[in-house]
Structure 1
Amino acid sequence: MYQEERLIEIVHYLEKHKRISTENICGLFDVSRDTARRDIIKLEEQGHILRTRGGAILPTLSKTIANYDDRLLDESTTESKKAIGKLAASLLHDGEYLLLDASTTVQSAAEQIYTKGHVAVTNSIDIAGILNQKEGISIHLLGGLLHQEHRFIYGSRAIEMLSDYYVHKLFMGVCAITADGITTPNEEDGYILKEMMRRADQVILLVDHTKFGKRQFHRIAGLEMIDILITDQEPDERLKEALLLHEIDIMIAKGENQP
C-alpha cells in the first residue's frame, strides 16, 4: 500500500475511533514503527491530525465555517435542513412570539411557517425577508452591525434591543454540539445567541448530524439551556446520554427519501 492510501485509511480510522496509536498503524498496515511515525508526521503537516504521545487524534476544534450562501446551497444537507425546518414549524401555534437566529436551518423553518398571528424577532436579514412574504406575521429586525459573510446583525445595539423582548419560542442553529455544550466560531454571534436563549421560554435547537461531536472557538451555553433538539439522525451514545441527562426532548426529522 502506498503512503497516500495509508494516510487516507488512517484518517478514516480516526473518524470512527477518534484516536490511533503507533501500534495500531503497525498492526493495521503491517508497517514498521518508523513508517507509522512518518505517516503521523505527514498527516500533522497536512493539518489533518494532532500528534499525541504514542499516536494521534483528530482535532476537536473546527476552525472554519463556510459562508452563508455556500451553506445554503450545500446539497449534502439540503434535504435534512428542509425536514428539520418542517418539523420545527409544525411545533408552532397561532399567535406565538418567536425568536429566530440567522442559521440556514432556521431559515428553512421560517420558509415552512404556515401558522399566523406571530410576532417574530430576528437578527437575520434573509429570514426577515422570508417572513415579510407571509401573511399575519409582525417582524422586528434587530439593529446593529451587519456581518456581510454570514448575514447576521450583531453588536451592542442588537444585544440591547434583545434585552427588551420576551418570547415563547426560540429557533436557533449551531455549528457544533458536544456533551459539553454548543459552540460557534464567531464570538459576536455567540453573544447574540446567549442573549436570545435568555429571552425565550422554550429553546429549540435545529441541527443536522454533521454538527455532532464538533467543537468551535466560542462557547455559547451548556446543554442545560436547551429544551428540544430537532435533528436528522440519532446522536451517538455519549451525546445522546448527555442530552437525556438534561431532559432534552430529541426529535428526529425524516426527509422525503428517508425510511
Structure 2
Amino acid sequence: MLAPERRRYLLQELSVRETVRVSEVAHTLMVSEMTVRRDIDALDGEGVLRKVHGGAARLRGTQEAEPGFSVNLGRQRQAKLAIGRAARELLRPGATIAISAGTTTYCLAGLLTGLEGLTVVTNSLTGADVARRSTGGEATVILTGGERTPSEALVGPVATAAIRSLHVDICFLGVHGIHPDGGLSTPNLAEADTNAALAESADRLVVLADHTKFGIRALAPIVPLAAVDTLITDAGIPDEVRSSYAELGVNLLVASGTGEPA
C-alpha cells in the first residue's frame, strides 16, 4: 500500500473515531509500526491530525480544514493522471508556464519529459521538485516563495508579489471548487489571492479539475468562469453537468482514459 493510501485510511478512521492506535493500524494494513509512525508524523506536520502517545487523535474541526497534500493525492488518482496527460498535449518546447499548487497540477508537473527549454513558475513545493525531476533538471523552475499551507502551496504577500512581477504563456490552475455562479474557489483566503495572481499573469488560463470539483462553492473566490480559456476534467463528469457548462460558454475538454496506474 502506498503512503497516500495509508494516510487516507488514517484520516478516514479519525472521521469516525476520536483516536487510532499505531499497533491497530499496522496490523490492519499489514505494515510495520515504524511506517505508521512516519505517516502520523507527516500528517501531524500537515496539521490534519494530532500525534499522541501510541497513535493519533482527531483534530477539532478537521472536516472544515484544508486537507493535506498526501491525502488529496490519493483521491481520484487515475482521473488526475488522465487530466495531466491531456494538459501535457497543450505544451510545446520553449514555453513559459505557471503551475499552481494542487494534486492534479502535480500530476502534470510529473509529465514534462521531452519538453526542452521550458520555464516553470510555481508556488508548489512538491510541484517544483517533480517538475525539475521530470525534465531531468533541464527546465528553469522558479519557486515563488511565501507562506506554506497544508496543501504544500506557497501563498501570501510574498508569493503574490513575485507572481505579479512575471508573465507566462499558460497558467495551469488547480482548484477546490467550480460553480456556475461562484466561478473558481478555494477554502484558503491567501491561496485565493495567490491563485488569482497566477491566473492574471498568463495569456491563457487552463483549469485542471476532476469531476468531483463541480458544483462546489468554497469560501474564497479566485476568478469567474469567464476568465477560463480551457477547463480540463475527466470522463467521470455527468452528461448533464457537461452540457450545463457548455451552455455557459465554457471550453470544456474531457480527458480520455484514466491515466496509468499509480
Common fold: TM-score over 0.5 = yes
Code of the residue aligned with 1:116 in structure 2: it is E
Code of the residue aligned with 2:132 in structure 1: it is N
Distance 1:83 1:196 in 2: 23
- 8 Å contact 1:223–1:246 — kept in the other structure? no
Counterpart of 2:164? 163
Structure 1 or 2, whichever has the larger Rg, is 1
Distance 2:96 2:169 in 1: 5
- 8 Å contact 1:96–1:119 — kept in the other structure? yes
Distance 1:100 1:246 in 2: 24
Distance 2:245 2:108 in 1: 26
Code of the residue aligned with 1:72 in structure 2: it is L
Equivalent in 239, 254, 259 of residue 257 of structure 2? 254
- 8 Å contact 1:105–1:207 — kept in the other structure? yes
- 8 Å contact 2:97–2:121 — kept in the other structure? yes
Code of the residue aligned with 1:104 in structure 2: it is T
- 8 Å contact 1:72–1:78 — kept in the other structure? yes
Distance 2:220 2:146 in 1: 21
Secondary structure of the 1:205 match is strand
In the alignment, is residue 224 of structure 1 matched against residue 251 of structure 2?
no
Gaps of 5+ in 2: 1-62
Code of the residue aligned with 1:237 in structure 2: it is E
Counterpart of 1:199? 201
Superposed, 1:1-259 pairs within 5 Å as: 63-74=64-75, 77-114=76-113, 115-133=115-133, 134-135=135-136, 136-147=138-149, 149-180=150-181, 181-233=183-235, 234-235=237-238, 237=240, 240-255=243-258
Q: After TM superposition, give the deviation of residue 64 of structure 1 in Å.
A: 4.6
Q: After TM superposition, give the deviation of residue 247 of structure 1 in Å.
A: 4.3
Relative distance call for 1:159 and 1:85 in structure 2 (3 A) is same
Distance 1:73 1:241 in 2: 28
Secondary structure of the 1:193 match is helix
Distance 2:66 2:239 in 1: 23
Code of the residue aligned with 1:206 in structure 2: it is L
Larger displacement relative to structure 2 (196-205 or 230-239): 230-239
The CA deviation string for residues 202-221 of structure 1, in whole angstroms up to 9 with x for no partner, is 11111111111111111111
The CA deviation string for residues 182-235 of structure 1, in whole angstroms up to 9 with x for no partner, is 111111110011111111111111111111111111111110010111111345
Gaps of 5+ in 1: 1-61
- 8 Å contact 1:178–1:239 — kept in the other structure? no
Code of the residue aligned with 1:173 in structure 2: it is G
Relative distance call for 1:204 and 1:188 in structure 2 (3 A) is same
Secondary structure of the 2:91 match is coil
Q: After TM superposition, give the deviation of residue 237 of structure 1 in Å.
A: 3.0
Relative distance call for 1:242 and 1:87 in structure 2 (3 A) is closer
Q: After TM superposition, give the deviation of residue 145 of structure 1 in Å.
A: 1.6
Code of the residue aligned with 1:248 in structure 2: it is N
CA RMSD in angstroms comes to 1.9
Q: TM-score, normalised by structure 2?
A: 0.69
- 8 Å contact 1:82–1:105 — kept in the other structure? yes
Secondary structure of the 1:221 match is coil
Relative distance call for 1:100 and 1:128 in structure 2 (3 A) is same
Distance 1:190 1:113 in 2: 26
Distance 2:65 2:146 in 1: 24
Distance 1:256 1:132 in 2: 21
Number of matched pairs: 193
Q: TM-score, normalised by structure 1?
A: 0.70
Share of identical aligned residues, percent? 28
Code of the residue aligned with 1:216 in structure 2: it is A
The CA deviation string for residues 47-78 of structure 1, in whole angstroms up to 9 with x for no partner, is xxxxxxxxxxxxxxx9454211111123xx11
Distance 1:238 1:187 in 2: 27
Relative distance call for 1:137 and 1:119 in structure 2 (3 A) is same
Q: After TM superposition, give the deviation of residue 153 of structure 1 in Å.
A: 0.7
